[in-house]
Structure 1
Amino acid sequence: MNRFHGTGVALVTPFNADGSVDYPGLRNLIDHVVDGGVEYLVSLGTTGEAATLKKDEKKKIWSFTAEVNNNRVPLVAGIGGNDTHAIANEIREFESSGYSAILSVSPYYSKPTQEGIYRHYQHLSEHTPLDLFLYNVPGRTSSNMSAETTCRLAHDFKNIIGIKDASGSFDQFNQIMRDKPADFLLISGDDPVTLPMIALGAAGVISVIANAVPRQFSDMVRACLAGDFKSAQPAHLSQIEFTRLCFAEGNPAGVKSALQRIGICSDTVRLPLLSASAGLAAAIDSALNDLG
């Protein structure tokens, strides 16, 4: 299996009650998901609340994650933003020991043209020593990276090896699968559509709920990749309610509530996010019990 086929986990960042980074909780989480059978880890993506972390906190989290992982599975670092040159500098300064790739979100807020998005990633491609994943999430960036732009980047830059696509557009997924290079990876950015995306030819998922249920989710993904949709479908359907609840009050509040429930780390998030409400936490507990 390719190192980035299967289930990647967008790791949460555990916090103590005072908002400081909970490193014992992060160790618990890394061991939990690796022992749960996932194929790789993504450190400090959106789910990791990277937007609220200071530069020195990010460096320590990346270093600690590599140390605890100890080369058990591949690691990807989330480094993105809307200032192209600042991101390129951050990538150049990144201590990449233990990491295999960078995941970088399409520029948010600025709403660049497709040519602007292309040139943004061209610049990053030319300034990273690691492989690069594109990340398209229009619901957060307010702009969509088109299938044409995605495939143009995939063909033009050998170190751009895949895209995490959370656009929700199957028309776009179809176009990418049709026009991409054979070895370029389309990866689901939304847990609920992972099964149908793999049916189209996607390589897997970068998952949120696999923080909490790594074994159940990664087993389902491996069944899909093996073409065993008959056994994957019941597993997929059984996880729908839990997944819905995890996103009901924003990410990562829901999945952190689940992680607190199973004793991995607390449910603390940093403002402007809020922890899951009591009603939602109770519903998440019930859904976890249903999943066993």
Structure 2
Amino acid sequence: MFDTLIDKLHNGTYITLETTPGHSASFTPTIDKIEALGLDSLVDGFSTTDNPLAKLKFNALFGAKLLQDRFNKPVIATMSMRDRNKIALQSDLLGANEFDVRAILALTGDPATISDQPNAKGVFESDSSLLLDIISAFNSGMDYAAKPFTNRPKEIYPFAVVNSYAKNPKTLQKKMQKKIKHGARGIITQPIYDLEGAKQLLELKESANKECCSENKSAELILGIFPITKLRTAQFLSSHVPGINVPPCWIDKLREAHTKGAQEEYKVGFELSKNLFDELKALHPKIHLMTANQFKIAKDILL
């Protein structure tokens, strides 16, 4: 399952769909929606998020297990450094490993100060590079303290993230290099909204891989896409989310459409998003689609 996903990542068309477990004791209704729309036949795998924005949600590792069991497709489970120390990280990895949840997206995590849980505190023993190092140790048959396991874990496939925009592009290259040196096999970008930006990121990835070639390490870039169908979403991403650049022309077109009503606003936003998806897929068919569980939009984009 995972070997096929990695082979697609490096040699074929690779599309994964993000899922966000809800504030619920059951993830099954979300999976049912995916199945009803036939989305499992349109993607190569899924991902599960880990309490994004520090808001309490269903566990990402258990969510990944449920998705894999239903669709027999690999799921990248997110793990955040915010909520676990190195003991808990390793314990969760060991448990997940026996249940074949073995693709892990390493995140530092959003600050606990924005949590919906009173007085929540972040752990943050390190950034996501620590988790990547732990995975490297596991893949060598030992824990982070270099103690060999009684039963060696099955191979874990580490993923990481990077911003899609920076005023100084070299900072993105350095971040990519750091992720690669710590073992990331795939690097997922924040949402991209212009073709030239994607081309620049691919060039930076090539440079980062060359810098790491002496260590015999490399990673593939996965282009993140988050469809925008509302003006306020474009404005929020542009003004309040670091590392994302929404072109002014998108905001101008959505603003004009907004004056004509919600239906026109959605139509214009969807067309912009769909055209971008098609352009990016033609440029570099390694895509991670994020829709905040708006799965009908995901299906319309993928068709």
- What interval of TM-score do these two structures reach, taking the shorter chain for normalisation? 0.5 to 0.7
- Partners of 1:12 and 1:60 in 2: CA distance: 12
1:166 matched residue in structure 2: 190
Q: What is the SS of the residue equivalent to 1:213?
A: helix
Conserved? CA contact 1:84–1:123, under 8 Å: no
Q: What is the SS of the residue equivalent to 1:52?
A: coil
2:224 is the counterpart of 1:189: yes
1:242 matched residue in structure 2: none
Select 2:207's aligned residue among 178, 203, 211.
178
2:157 matched residue in structure 1: 131
- Partners of 1:13 and 1:190 in 2: CA distance: 19
In structure 2, stretches of 5+ residues that fail to align are 113-121, 140-154, 211-216, 227-272
**Counterparts of residues 1-292 of structure 1 (less than 5 Å):** 2-4=7-9, 5-13=13-21, 19-21=24-26, 23-30=28-35, 32-45=37-50, 51-53=55-57, 57-58=59-60, 60-69=62-71, 71=72, 73-82=73-82, 83=84, 85=86, 86-95=88-97, 97-109=99-111, 118-119=129-130, 121-127=132-138, 129-136=155-162, 146-155=172-181, 157=183, 160-166=184-190, 171-180=200-209, 184-191=219-226, 192=273, 194=277, 197-198=280-281, 201=284, 203-208=286-291, 211-219=295-303
TM-score under structure 2 length normalisation = 0.51
TM-score under structure 1 length normalisation = 0.53
Q: How many residues align?
A: 202
- Partners of 2:106 and 2:176 in 1: CA distance: 13
Q: What is the SS of the residue equivalent to 1:180?
A: helix
Q: What is the SS of the residue equivalent to 1:208?
A: coil
Conserved? CA contact 1:43–1:65, under 8 Å: no
In structure 1, stretches of 5+ residues that fail to align are 220-292
Conserved? CA contact 2:17–2:46, under 8 Å: yes
Percentage identity across paired residues of the two chains: 10
Q: Deviations over 1:36-83 (max 9, x none)?
A: 512211123567x884136xx5554333222212x2x22221222235
Q: Deviations over 1:153-206 (max 9, x none)?
A: 32563xx21111117565555312433269622112233565565565462223
Conserved? CA contact 1:134–1:162, under 8 Å: yes
**Pairwise CA RMSD:** 4.1
Q: What is the SS of the residue equivalent to 1:146?
A: helix
Distance 1:167 1:212, change over 3 A: closer
Query: What amino acid is the match of 2:137?
Result: E
Q: How far did 1:134 drift? A: 0.4
- Partners of 1:46 and 1:102 in 2: CA distance: 15
2:117 matched residue in structure 1: none
